[in-house]
Amino acid sequence: MSQTKIKVTLIGTHLARPGLEFVYEGALPECRGCKVNKVCNNLQPSKRYQIVSVRNSTRHECRVHAGGACAVEVIESPVLALIPAEKAIVNSKILFEHGCNRESCKGYDLCCPEGAVQGEYYLVGEVLGNPPVECERGRALKMVELRPT
């Protein structure tokens, strides 16, 4: 099993609290030219992260966050997802490929969960059982916890 990698980044002071989960969406145009841009934008876009601690009370001026930004330690968060049943094996490393474009399907948000990146490898941490809704395409799916590798 892989070790949890802690990264230091900056986030708005009003968001900086342990346990908060967020999906990093990437740099904004307002970030160009900022002296702490590289620290704020050192995460991978579309991945889900969780704040594990707030570093200190130093506030940095920020064009995006009212009240400024402060340093936090984050880890990649596990993501709940529906995957093909044959891949749902605890502690197996899988390539995440949702392959579905039916956004109107009731299970779409679990088949294509926010925070899981298409084409990335994940570890199946836990098999949680059958999906809450049937697949409209008739695929056999299982609900799992995907952990970063």
d(CA 105, CA 113): 13
Q: What is the pLDDT of residue 110?
A: 94
Q: What is the pLDDT of residue 3?
A: 60
Residue 130's CB: how many other CB atoms inside 10 A? 13
Residue 1 in this model has a pLDDT that exceeds 50: no
pLDDT band at 20 (very low <50, low <70, confident <90, very high): very high
| Pair 67, 138: CB distance under 8 Å | no
Residue 4's CB: how many other CB atoms inside 10 A? 11
Nearest to 118 by CA among 87, 88, 85, 146: 146
Sign of the CA dihedral running 73, 33, 30, 41: negative
- Tens digit of pLDDT for each residue in 54-109? 997 789 999 999 999 999 999 999 999 999 999 999 999 999 998 788 899 899 99
pLDDT band at 38 (very low <50, low <70, confident <90, very high): very high
Q: What is the pLDDT of residue 101?
A: 86
Q: Across all residues in the chain, what is the average pLDDT?
A: 93
Helices (H), the chain: 37-40, 108-111
Residue 7 in this model has a pLDDT that exceeds 90: yes
Strands 141-148 and 79-84: antiparallel
Six-digit token string for 122? 């994940």
pLDDT band at 120 (very low <50, low <70, confident <90, very high): very high
Residue 141 in this model has a pLDDT that exceeds 60: yes
Distance of CA 9 to the CA centre of its chain: 15
Residue 49 in this model has a pLDDT that exceeds 70: yes
pTM of the predicted structure, to 2 decimals = 0.85
